[in-house]
Amino acid sequence: MKLSSKTAKKMLDDALGKTPHDGWIKHSICVGDAAARIAKALNLDTEKAKTLGYIHDIGKTISFQNHVMDGYNLLKQKGYDEEYCNICLVHSYLNNDVNCTAGGIPKKIPFRTQFIQTHEYTPYEKIINLCDLLCTNRICTLEQRLIDIMVRRGVYSNTVYHIKEAYKLKEYFDNLLGYNVYNLFPEIKENI
Ligand SMILES: [Fe+2]
């Protein structure tokens, strides 16, 4: 079953006030809106990019700690197509590696490790990977976001690895666009 950005937004609106904090809801809207802007610049499907951004952290309606698997399972149970379920699973991991993530080495979940290793990331998934790293609850620079995560979640053995791959991901999009991805977000200047 397809998921629309309208339905995804309603899921976020319905979650307001029902989780330990609402910060992730504004963040998800930021990710979806930023993803749509990048998709438009690359002549991709803006509605799909927006929907995937809105939905990527939906597992937080179940648990913060395990939101990746919870989001994947929630959307599967509801009967949504693979691409919507998969974004919950892949959004935090760069370089086809579960260890390439913020907040330390994740706990071992063989299904997830195997999935991330063998999955070919779609252009939309790469956009969400990037936008997740360009949004706190508003659009910001990669550096601001990485520091925001480190301040909240700490610095670990894999932090430098994750930062290096995050820079590579931004560079990938800068090259694809032919200009700095920040040019799509002039409002970043107000947020620095
Ligand atoms: Fe996120």
Residues less than 5 Å from ion ligand 1, measured at CB: 57, 132
In the chain the domains, ranked by start, together with CATH numbers, are 5-191 (1.10.3210)
Could you tell me if residue 178 is left (phi over 0), alpha (psi between -120 and 50 degrees) or otherwise beta? Answer: left
- C-alpha 116/C-alpha 86 separation (Å) is 10
What would the pLDDT profile of 24-78 be if each residue is shown by its tens digit? 999 999 999 999 999 999 999 999 999 999 999 999 999 999 999 999 999 999 9
- What is the Å distance from ligand 1's center to 43 Cα? 24
How far, in Å, is the centroid of ligand 1 from the Cα of 110?
A: 22
Q: What gap in Å lies between CA 29 and CA 121, rounded to an integer?
A: 22
pTM: 0.97
Distance in Å, CA 179 to ligand 1 centroid: 25
* Residue 188 confidence class, pLDDT cut points 50, 70, 90: very high
Instruction: Determine the distance separating the centroid of ligand 1 and the alpha carbon of 79, expressed in angstroms.
Output: 22
Q: Alpha carbon 21 to chain centroid distance? A: 18
Residue 166: per-residue pLDDT: 98
